[in-house]
Amino acid sequence: MTAPARPAGQRPRTEWRDVSGILLLDKPTGMSSNAALQRARRLFRARKAGHTGSLDPLASGLLPVCFGQATKISGMLLDADKGYRVTALLGTRTATGDAEGEVTGTAPVPTLDADAIATVLAGFLGTIDQVPPMYSALKREGRRLYELARQGIEVERAPRSVRIHELRLTDWDGRRLSLEVRCSKGTYVRTLVEDIATAIGTVGHVESLRRTLVGPFLEQELWSLAELEALRDEQGEPALDRLLLTPDVALVHLPAMTVGASEQSYLLQGQAVFAAGPAGALVRMYGPGREFLGIGQMTPEGRRLAPVRIMLDLEAGRQASKSLEGGAQRG
């Protein structure tokens, strides 16, 4: 019996597979983060995928995509510092704070040199308060703020504290302001640009934005969707899989601890073990064969290690433990 013919134009059904690791994707301008994620997921045929912090469609750059077990650490990348290159156009305000919104106001731009601009920027370093923009994904009574904004509704938003670690002027032509920013999670670069423009004595909006850093990851390591498609077509899925980073590379800021085969077995079953380590610290846990087990936490006195998030598949861990035990017995 032959299978029924697929209707013309219908995409063949994807056969998903188990893939684990982190892909450093170069999200293109004009595409939503979710659309970029879904394109990457289909290329890898990954059963489970998620990204670690949305970029506006206007923005391009670093979008870490987590597949499989790596989705378990996506929250830590959401909390990581971010870096951006941004060009602001002064003298024009828009409804959205970027080039996609309609113009809502204009103002003359004062004549300033680079030194004067740098003095203004210095006032934004450190912890500052930001009022989130109406065109954001924050919710008010169950509705996204951008949904209200599109209906012409503006609601009061409470200021939020964020931290600007670095803010450097890279170019200034009298109207366009190019900056490099490194900031804490939750920072709205559109709001930062508007606030800088106000401090200068004018208005402004984001003309272009590129994310260059997320935690330990830099833009030099990125792969575009076009590059991924070409690599798959030329060399197949194994070549794509070799691009994936192991989840522990996102956790290099945590101290590492290696445990023995017996401790590994207990940890993979969710049980704490005796181990000496940094008191009260979150740690990266490795088995005796250097398999990355996941994230653990030391007790306050630093004598016991409890699993917080297991990354190694339980069956794979059991097989690794058996292999190590067998080797010890043969020795």
Fold for the domain defined by 82-214:
Pseudouridine synthase (3.30.2350)
Query: Which residues are paired to 206 by β-bridges?
Result: 88, 98
Fold for the domain defined by 254-330:
2.30.130
Question: Which pLDDT does position 158 carry in this prediction?
Answer: 82
Main-chain dihedrals φ then ψ at residue 23, nearest 5 degrees: -105, 130
Mention every residue, 6+ apart, whose C-beta is less than 8 A from residue 84: 61, 180, 181, 182, 183, 189, 209, 210, 211, 212, 213
Main-chain dihedrals φ then ψ at residue 110, nearest 5 degrees: -60, 155
167 close to 74: Cβ distance less than 8 angstroms: no
Query: Which residues are paired to 167 by β-bridges?
Result: 181
CB atoms within 10 A of CB 130: 19
DSSP-derived secondary structure for 15-45? --B---EEEEEEEPTTS-HHHHHHHHHHHHT
Residues marked active site are found at 56
Question: Which pLDDT does position 130 carry in this prediction?
Answer: 94
Domain boundaries, the chain: 21-79+217-241, 82-214, 254-330
Question: Which pLDDT does position 6 carry in this prediction?
Answer: 56
Q: Characterize the bridge pairing of strands 204-214 and 176-183.
A: unpaired
- Give the separation between CA 124 and CA 314, rounded to whole angstroms: 48
Question: Which pLDDT does position 31 carry in this prediction?
Answer: 92
- Give the separation between CA 231 and CA 239, rounded to whole angstroms: 7
- Give the separation between CA 193 and CA 208, rounded to whole angstroms: 11
Q: Characterize the bridge pairing of strands 282-286 and 256-258.
A: parallel
Question: Which pLDDT does position 125 carry in this prediction?
Answer: 98
CA torsion sign for 50, 51, 55, 58 is: negative
Q: Which two tokens stand for residue 122?
A: 């210095």
Question: Are domains 21-79+217-241 and 82-214 of this chain identical in fold?
Answer: yes
pLDDT tens digit at each of 331 positions of the chain = 444 555 666 667 889 999 999 999 999 999 989 999 999 999 999 999 998 888 888 899 999 999 999 999 988 888 899 999 999 999 999 998 999 899 999 999 999 999 999 999 999 999 999 988 777 667 776 777 777 777 777 777 888 999 999 999 999 999 999 999 999 998 999 999 999 999 999 999 999 999 999 999 998 889 999 999 999 999 999 999 999 999 999 999 999 999 999 999 999 999 999 999 999 999 999 999 899 999 999 999 999 999 999 987 654 545 444 544 444 443 4
- Give the separation between CA 46 and CA 65, rounded to whole angstroms: 11
Tell me the C-alpha to C-alpha distance, in Å, between residue 26 and each of 131, 165, 176, 184, 217. Answer: 29, 24, 25, 21, 12
Cβ burial, residue 305 (10 Å; 0-12/13-18/19+): buried
Helices (H) and strands (E) in the chain, counts: 9, 19
State in words which class domain 21-79+217-241 has: alpha beta
Closest CA to 132 of 103, 96, 99, 94: 96
Rounding to the nearest 10 degrees, give the CA dihedral for residues 296, 73, 159, 170. 120
CB atoms within 10 A of CB 136: 18
Question: Which pLDDT does position 8 carry in this prediction?
Answer: 60
